[in-house]
């Protein structure tokens, strides 16, 4: 899927491990509990994060395939043709054997649209009333989200997830659907989700005690697509509605900035304070009108927020530390080198205080 792959893969691996299946896993992020991206297990299952960005997921022959969502990203791989991207996902699902299972998030309109084209067994998941594995009664308090799971494969049960946001409930539902298909017991699923320690740069939060009193929560996140920004900002608003939200964002790739420009302008107008840096090129040549300054100007013209443009990105810690207030939540987002500023920023914020 376009979003949520790393978290979903990590949750699946964690649930299978808690169920005693000792899976091998290969993940596009560092699983905090294991301290690594990959591990060779002794069990029968391999849990892999499959990537559509370069269409390399077509090399895989899965027994069970999860699709979280289908969104416009990495469109150069597909010649700018969304229908080609959509059909590539159908082709991926048809790599399943006739006895295989497709686990699909039908909250996503594009994934729901694939249902009639998939000629394999399907388990659907999401908040939708017709989902086979469904979450209801969702309540978020800070970093913890609680919900009830309704499904045909087991009696309804409650889940406590140590991840914020409705998007992470969807990711957890995918892992639950996989686990139930493989015969995992509900108590093992509940323990794994309650004890999940997260993934590097996926809403990775530390609390910084300010020298003058009070504290700031600093969140490091890899998100770089408008939909990912939207999900992360919504998670912050839901968990900490009374706190000021400061977002530092580094756009990633000129092509993505150009293709998603209006969506970026809309979502980046939502924080209380926005710091924007220049686009991280990732090997691309600049595209006129798709740079950080132009994006910053478009957000300013929209009139909801006055962004602060900071270039180079290495100057962000000094600028942020000069404007934060006690109880702020500072979210640092982007897939480029912006993640490298987080340690420096944490120590600047804390001064002689503590970072936890």
Residue 162: how many other CB atoms lie within 10 Å: 14
The pair of three-digit structure tokens given for residue 5, joined into one six-digit string: 């792959």
Query: What is the dihedral sign for C-alpha 97, 100, 105, 109?
Result: positive
Could you tell me if 190 and 27 are in contact, meaning their C-beta atoms sit under 8 angstroms apart? no
Active-site annotation holds for 5: yes
Q: How far is CA 71 from CA 58, 67, 83, 109, 260, in A?
A: 17, 11, 11, 10, 11
Scanning the chain, the segments in alpha helix (DSSP H) are: 5-18, 82-93, 109-112, 166-181, 186-194, 226-239, 254-259, 261-267, 292-302, 316-321, 342-350
Q: Which residues contact 242 (CB under 8 A, 6 or more apart)?
A: none
Active-site annotation holds for 6: yes
Q: Which of 2, 5, 8, 145 is catalytic?
A: 5
Active-site annotation holds for 162: no
End-to-end CA distance of the chain: 33
Q: How many residues does the chain have?
A: 356
The pair of three-digit structure tokens given for residue 249, joined into one six-digit string: 């964002």
Q: Which of 2, 6, 9, 68 is catalytic?
A: 6
How far apart CA 321 and CA 62 sit, in angstroms, is 47
Q: Which of 7, 8, 9, 49 is catalytic?
A: 49
Q: 118-131: buried (b, 16+ CB within 10 Å) or exposed (e) per residue? A: bebeebbbbbeeeb
Active-site residue list? 5-6, 49
């Amino acid at each position: 899927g376009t979003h949520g792959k790393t978290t979903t893969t990590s949750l699946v691996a964690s649930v299978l491990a808690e169920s005693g299946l000792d899976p091998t896993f290969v993940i596009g992020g560092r699983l905090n509990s294991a301290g690594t991206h990959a591990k060779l297990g002794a069990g029968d299952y391999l849990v892999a994060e499959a990537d559509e960005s370069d269409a390399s997921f077509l090399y895989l022959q899965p027994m069970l395939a999860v699709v979280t969502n289908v969104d416009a990203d990495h469109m150069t791989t597909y010649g700018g043709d969304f229908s080609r991207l959509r059909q590539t996902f159908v082709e991926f699902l048809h790599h399943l054997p006739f006895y295989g299972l497709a686990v699909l998030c039908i909250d996503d309109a594009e994934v729901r649209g694939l249902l009639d084209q998939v000629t394999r067994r399907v388990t659907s998941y999401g908040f939708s009333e017709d989902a086979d594995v469904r979450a209801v009664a969702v309540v978020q308090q800070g970093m913890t989200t609680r919900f009830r799971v309704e499904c045909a494969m087991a009696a309804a049960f409650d889940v406590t997830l140590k991840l914020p946001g409705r998007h992470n409930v969807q990711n957890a539902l995918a892992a639950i659907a996989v686990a139930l298909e493989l015969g995992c017991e509900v108590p093992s699923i509940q323990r794994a989700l309650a004890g999940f320690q997260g993934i590097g740069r996926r809403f990775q939060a530390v609390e910084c005690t300010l020298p003058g009193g009070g504290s700031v929560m600093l969140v490091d996140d890899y998100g770089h697509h408008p939909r990912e920004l939207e999900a992360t900002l919504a998670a912050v608003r839901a968990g900490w509605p009374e706190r000021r939200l400061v977002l530092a964002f580094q756009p990633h790739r000129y092509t993505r900035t150009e293709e998603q420009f209006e969506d970026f302008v809309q979502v980046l107008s939502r924080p209380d304070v926005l710091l924007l840096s220049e686009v991280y090129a990732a090997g691309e040549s600049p595209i006129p009108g798709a740079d950080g300054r132009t994006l910053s100007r478009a957000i300013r013209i929209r009139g909801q927020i006055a962004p602060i443009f900071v270039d180079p990105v290495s100057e962000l810690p000094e600028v942020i530390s000069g404007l934060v207030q006690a109880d702020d939540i500072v979210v640092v987002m982007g897939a480029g080198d912006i993640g490298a500023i987080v340690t420096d920023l944490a120590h600047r914020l804390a001064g002689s205080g503590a970072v936890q």
